[in-house]
Structure 1
């Protein structure tokens, strides 16, 4: 069996659900599945390279956005194969997930992947479009900009990112400017910053705020199967 270390929480969940027993290491942020019992190798941005090397994996899974190039270069220099994913939209997520599970030893696409693909392929055309600001951090305020997976997820559900054409993918925007663009909605995920009803909506008085699960908005893995339904419900609740 291929020995795998994952540096990406969503890929950790995908491999665990597809090739049980393949994972021999994961980051401290890999919280799914909840009963995953493997050595932890640090964070996504600061993995312990020496610890990973000692685990002797056949393959390390990484992402071009979540992981740092110097860490991946050090792993390659140690003779370890590194598979780097690039996911900027939903179709790319499915392509990369199929590539990942195959590289980890799955003989065929797992059932959850087929269910997720079906869930996204049968989405109805949105009746209306909603202009939204989508913060991902505060102190300083940062929002989704161009070319992001989460932005594409929301667009397929009828939510248009106000900053979708911004030159940066995650621009820092002052709060006053976020208010002044006059969004119809503010979408607040619970990761990477844990926005709550008491931490975020108070900044946008008078504008509906949708609190959404970050795992369903930003992870590409088994959560994709239920993401369209759950996010749509959270968006509807904010508009009521």
Structure 2
């Protein structure tokens, strides 16, 4: 089996579980450290000629991470594709289990068993808080309805202020975001690199929690320690400016 992954979290899941199966990944596939496979460009604009040249038995894609036209082009060229789209933690865990089994794993890997255990009883914040969760700036883009990251936060006691929005990634203006009067602003470090100096200043008077994006949005081995890592970050936000 020869697999090319265009999804960073799936790259990590496959490389950790089935070394040798993965033959190609995107330039953004940073985990596991030291991954030595052919690179095929970005997840949004991969070099499909490079992908095909690797003669994959399967290419892994994601509805949010990749473009439909790339999936269609690969399928039209006779390259088998598998498109993932988990919107909840349980769905992600089950989807990962099914994928790894189909790729030849003899059973659920230890990290997946640990992730199931961790999410069966995740730590919750002392009180439920309503949060705005930007994932981009210039323009502002926030988590909306039915997102995987939104479900991750909900299970930790954080209610997404835009969970009822008709769009999955709305683009409200900053005035509207402030008018929501959230208890908390959650700022991940990817896909936009929010830092203590870039983001909190836009929300004076509101505590801002800097969280690792890999633990918030990736579905792979990071799911095993995501509850503890995120709970710690959410429990210690930056002081309100």
TM range (shorter): over 0.9
**Counterpart in the other structure of 1:88:** 87
TM-superposed CA distance for 1:79, in Å, is: 1.3
> Deviation digits for residues 37-91 of structure 1, max 9, x if unmatched?
1110011111111111110011111111111111111111121110111111101
**Within 2, Cα distance between the matches of 1:122 and 1:11?**
24
Matches within 5 A, 1:7-156: 7-124=6-123, 127-156=126-155
Counterpart secondary structure, 1:238: coil
Contact 2:116/2:224, CA 8 A, preserved across alignment:
yes
**Within 1, Cα distance between the matches of 2:39 and 2:193?**
23
Q: Which runs of 4+ in 1 moved over 4 A?
A: 124-127
Q: List gaps (5 residues or longer) in structure 1.
A: none
Q: List gaps (5 residues or longer) in structure 2.
A: none
TM-superposed CA distance for 1:239, in Å, is: 7.3
TM-superposed CA distance for 1:122, in Å, is: 1.9
TM-score by length of 2: 0.97
TM-superposed CA distance for 1:124, in Å, is: 4.9
**Within 1, Cα distance between the matches of 2:124 and 2:214?**
24
Instruction: Give the paired residue count.
Output: 239
Cα RMSD of the aligned pairs, angstroms, is 1.1
Higher mean C-alpha deviation, range 70-79 or range 137-146:
70-79
> Deviation digits for residues 193-213 of structure 1, max 9, x if unmatched?
000000000111110000000
Counterpart secondary structure, 1:132: strand
